[in-house]
């Protein structure tokens, strides 16, 4: 399925331009004309080739871009012949920093799909991991000049005459939405599938450093939940160190997390599941835990004794969605925990879905025990602007959680605050005579 992420002009502007180009081109042989009827005038941000069953995930990803973006002023510039395609007439618009930043955000969000300015130029799924991390650098050299493609004229004299006639047209409008559209083999829009409003920034609470204010914990949690629901990343406190949370059910967010940490995709990431604390029992969370993993009797005993606490239990993976397969790194198992930290608990319960429980550091670097330490590690990363910080003060330095595998024989994978003797006393209690 061929899709394009686009900005569309107002109906009145599109109709006027479409009518004018159709009149100008009617006496010349042509491949196509964007007349606002069979084909819709559009400003392309990025092309995508994907399957129908991925549109829902794609929509979630683009919504996370739109919700953080200001409306953009679009002004026409001039009609020209495309430098890349002979006979193709383009209507250029004035470039702006806001427009370039929007295009780059769309680019960064959608490159896990099969994407490219045109399929013969870029097919990112064939790139190496290093090239993918640097993919942003390739968008400008490819020549992103915002434009409306208007027609393909087969005669050189026709192309020049049409350009001369059309250059009298000028327009300005404010783009308030981005659209997902279906396109034909010429990559021209034939159908609108989804649209997402570019939120007015005055209606969006400030992202950065809002969480340093006291007495606003509920508002802070609510804001962090909104960030997670739109595919963002939240740094939050746990009972060991600061962690990085994304919605564990959102594949694009999980990929973003791996890129932010520079983590090998062959290494799994543990999760925290909401436990519906109204029940106040360890069989809590069976709604989500039983979706994700196979909880055996031994695991239930350990949850009863040590949760909330610094114990991560690795169990056989039950969930089959792609985000879970990525988090498990193909091992067929995943670690679940529930930390003894009220902020972490409030965050996952308010979201109502599992969040990731990886430490807030670049892979191989020390764990972060304060917001300042976490910021220092990520401040130069290109995804830094996607991070929201949920403060919990300076945490005491503790060991990472104990990681215990119950997928097969009992095995401690990583020693931590809960020691082997404590675990054995729960799993293998001594019988009194």
Cα 136 to Cα 45: distance, rounded to the nearest angstrom: 14
CATH number at residue 237: 3.90.870.10
Cα 373 to Cα 367: distance, rounded to the nearest angstrom: 8
Cα 41 to Cα 189: distance, rounded to the nearest angstrom: 7
| 156/213 same-domain check | no
Cα 307 to Cα 311: distance, rounded to the nearest angstrom: 7
Cα 43 to Cα 136: distance, rounded to the nearest angstrom: 20
**Residue 28 in tokens:** 């010349």
**Residue 79 in tokens:** 């009609």
Note whether 308 and 345 are within 8 A (CB): yes
Contacts of 260-267 spanning 24+ positions with Cβ under 8 A: 260/233, 260/378, 260/381, 260/383, 260/386, 260/387, 261/358, 261/361, 261/362, 261/363, 262/362, 262/363, 262/364, 263/358, 263/363, 264/363, 265/129, 265/326, 265/329, 266/329, 266/330, 267/329, 267/363
Q: Looking at residue 140, what is its pLDDT?
A: 38
Cα 62 to Cα 106: distance, rounded to the nearest angstrom: 7
Helix (H, G, I), strand (E, B) or coil at 393: coil
**Residue 296 in tokens:** 């055996």
The model's pTM is 0.54
| 219/271 same-domain check | yes
CATH number at residue 137: 3.90.1140.10
Strands 333-338, 271-272: pairing is: parallel
Cα 210 to chain centroid distance, Å, stands at 22
Task: List all residues 6 or more positions away from 154 whose beta carbon is below 8 Å from its beta carbon.
Answer: 28, 29, 30, 31, 87
Q: Looking at residue 112, what is its pLDDT?
A: 63
Residue range(s) defining the domain that contains residue 135: 2-201
| 340/415 same-domain check | yes
DSSP states of 102-119: HHHHHHHHHTTSEEESST
DSSP letter at 432 equals: P
Q: Looking at residue 144, what is its pLDDT?
A: 55
Is the preceding omega at residue 308 within 30 degrees of 0, hence cis? yes
| 366/270 same-domain check | yes
Q: Which of 266, 268, 259 is nearest to 356 (CA)?
A: 268
DSSP letter at 293 equals: B
**Residue 351 in tokens:** 């979201």
- Given 201, 225, 249, the domain boundary residue is 201
Q: Which of 318, 320, 270 is nearest to 296 (CA)?
A: 318
Q: How many domains does the chain have?
A: 2
- Given 182, 201, 220, the domain boundary residue is 201
Cα 285 to Cα 306: distance, rounded to the nearest angstrom: 15
Q: Phi and psi dihedrals of 286, rounded to 5?
A: -60, -30
Is residue 121 assigned to a domain?
Answer: yes
What sign does the dihedral 396-301-360-387 (CA atoms) show? negative
Q: Looking at residue 113, what is its pLDDT?
A: 66
| 28/112 same-domain check | yes
| 236/274 same-domain check | yes
| 394/413 same-domain check | yes
pLDDT tens, N- to C-terminus, the chain (433 residues):
888 899 999 988 888 888 888 888 888 888 888 888 788 889 988 888 777 767 877 888 888 888 888 899 998 888 888 877 788 888 888 877 788 888 877 877 776 665 444 333 333 333 334 343 444 443 333 445 678 888 888 888 888 888 888 877 888 999 999 999 988 877 788 889 999 998 755 444 444 444 444 446 788 898 899 899 989 999 999 999 999 999 999 999 999 999 999 999 999 999 999 986 543 344 445 678 889 999 999 999 999 999 999 999 999 999 999 999 999 999 999 999 999 999 999 999 999 999 999 999 999 999 999 999 999 999 888 888 789 999 889 999 999 999 999 998 999 999 999 999 999 999 988 754 4
Is residue 68 assigned to a domain?
Answer: yes
| 215/188 same-domain check | no
Among the residues of 189-296, which ranges form H helices? Answer: 217-229, 251-261, 286-292
Cα 232 to Cα 250: distance, rounded to the nearest angstrom: 10
């Amino acid at each position: 399925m061929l899709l394009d992420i686009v900005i569309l002009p107002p109906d009145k502007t599109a109709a006027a331009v479409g009518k004018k180009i159709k009149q100008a081109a009617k006496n010349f042989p042509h491949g196509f004309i964007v007349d606002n009827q069979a084909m819709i005038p559009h400003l392309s941000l990025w092309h995508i080739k994907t399957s129908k069953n991925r549109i829902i995930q794609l929509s979630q990803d683009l919504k996370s871009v739109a919700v953080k973006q200001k409306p953009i002023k679009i002004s026409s510039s001039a009609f020209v012949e495309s430098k890349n395609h002979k006979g193709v007439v383009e209507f250029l618009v004035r470039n702006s920093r806001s427009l370039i930043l929007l295009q780059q955000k769309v680019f960064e969000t959608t490159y896990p799909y099969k994407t490219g300015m045109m399929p013969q130029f870029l097919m990112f799924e064939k790139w190496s991991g290093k090239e993918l991390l640097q993919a942003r650098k390739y968008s400008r050299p490819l020549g992103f000049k915002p434009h409306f493609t208007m027609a393909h004229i087969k005669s050189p004299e026709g192309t020049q005459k049409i350009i001369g006639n059309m250059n009298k047209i000028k327009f300005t409008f404010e783009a308030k939405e981005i659209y997902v559209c279906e396109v034909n083999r010429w990559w021209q829009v034939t159908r609108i599938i989804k649209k997402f409003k570019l939120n007015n920034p005055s209606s969006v609470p400030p992202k950065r450093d809002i969480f340093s204010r006291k007495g606003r914990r509920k508002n802070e949690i609510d804001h962090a939940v909104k960030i997670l629901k739109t595919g963002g990343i939240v740094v939050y406190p746990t009972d060991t160190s600061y962690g990085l949370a994304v919605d564990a059910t959102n594949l694009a967010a999980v990929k973003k997390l791996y890129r932010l940490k520079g983590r090998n995709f062959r290494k799994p990431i543990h999760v925290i599941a909401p436990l519906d604390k109204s029940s106040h029992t360890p069989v809590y969370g069976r709604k989500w835990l039983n979706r994700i993993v196979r909880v055996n009797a031994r695991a239930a005993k350990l949850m009863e004794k040590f949760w909330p606490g610094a114990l991560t239990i690795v169990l056989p993976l039950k969930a089959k969605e792609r985000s879970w397969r990525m988090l498990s790194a193909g091992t067929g198992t995943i670690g679940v925990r529930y930390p003894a930290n009220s902020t972490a608990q409030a965050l996952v319960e308010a979201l109502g879905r599992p969040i990731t429980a990886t430490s807030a550091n670049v892979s191989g670097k020390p764990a972060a025990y304060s917001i300042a330490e976490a910021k220092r590690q990520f401040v130069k990363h290109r995804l830094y602007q996607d991070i929201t910080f949920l403060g919990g003060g300076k945490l005491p330095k503790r060991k990472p959680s104990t990681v215990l595998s119950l997928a097969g024989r009992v095995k401690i994978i990583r020693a931590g605050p809960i020691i082997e003797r404590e675990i054995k006393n729960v799993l293998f209690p001594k019988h009194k005579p």
